[in-house]
Structure 1
Amino acid sequence: MASKAEMHSVSIPSGLKASLERLAESRNVNEAELVSEALTRYIDEEMDYSGAIDEALKESEEGVFVSGDKVIEWMKSWGTENELPMLEPDIILAKRS
C-alpha cells in the first residue's frame, strides 16, 4: 500500500534542475518521482550513518576499541585479494565508576 504523499516546495539551482529534467526524461519518469527517490536514499544513508556514529559512541563509552595498528592493517587490505574481514574489538577497558 502506497503511503500518503504531501506536497513540498524546494528551490533547486538551475543547473541541477536541468540535470533532473534530463534524467527524468531518460528514465521515463516524472521529476517528482526522482526527487522522492533521491530524498529517500539520502535520508536512509544519513540515518544509517547516524546510527553507526551512535553505536561507536556507545562502544567508546563502554571502553570497547579496535587498536590503530589493526585498523591500518585492515584498511591496507581493502580492494586486495586478501581483504580482511570486519574487525572485532581488541581493546576492552575496565569501566570506571
Structure 2
Amino acid sequence: MASTDFSLPLGPALRADLDAEARRSNQPATEIAEAAIAQYLAGRKRKREAVRQALREADDGVFISEESVARWVQSWGTESELPPPDPDVLPTR
C-alpha cells in the first residue's frame, strides 16, 4: 500500500512514550503510531456500527428488559453465570 507523509504534533510525554516503545519493540515510531491510529479508527468504526444497530433495533421496538440485564449482570462471576440475554421486549404489532 502506498503511503503519504502526515505530520502530527505530539506532546513531550506522548512523544517520549512513543520513542520508548519503539526502542523496546525494535520498531520505528512511525510504524507504532500508524498501527495505533488504525486500531483507534477501527474501534470508532465498530462503535458507530453498534450504535446504528441499536438504533435500528430501537426503531423496530426490540429491547432487552432491565430485569433480564440485571439478572445477567448479577450472575457474573458465579458458578451459574448466564449468557447475555436475548431481546425480550418486542413490538406488539
Structure 1 unaligned residues grouped into runs of 5+? none
> Secondary structure at the residue paired with 1:87?
coil
Deviations 1:42-95 (A, max 9, x none): 111111111111000000000000000111111222344433212210011235
Per the normalisation by structure 1, the TM-score is 0.87
Please say if 1:59 is aligned against 2:52: no
Choose between structure 1 and 2: higher strand proportion: 1
Deviations 1:5-46 (A, max 9, x none): 121111111100000000010000000000011011111111
Corresponding pairs, count: 93
Please say if 1:28 is aligned against 2:31: no
Please say if 1:17 is aligned against 2:26: no
Q: Stretches of 4+ moved more than 4 A in 1?
A: none
Structure 2 unaligned residues grouped into runs of 5+? none
> Secondary structure at the residue paired with 2:71?
helix
Q: Which position in structure 1 is the counterpart of 2:37?
A: 39
Per the normalisation by structure 2, the TM-score is 0.91
Q: Distance in 2 between matches of 1:69 and 1:91?
A: 11
Give the % identical residues.
31
Aligned-partner residue type, residue 23 of structure 1: E
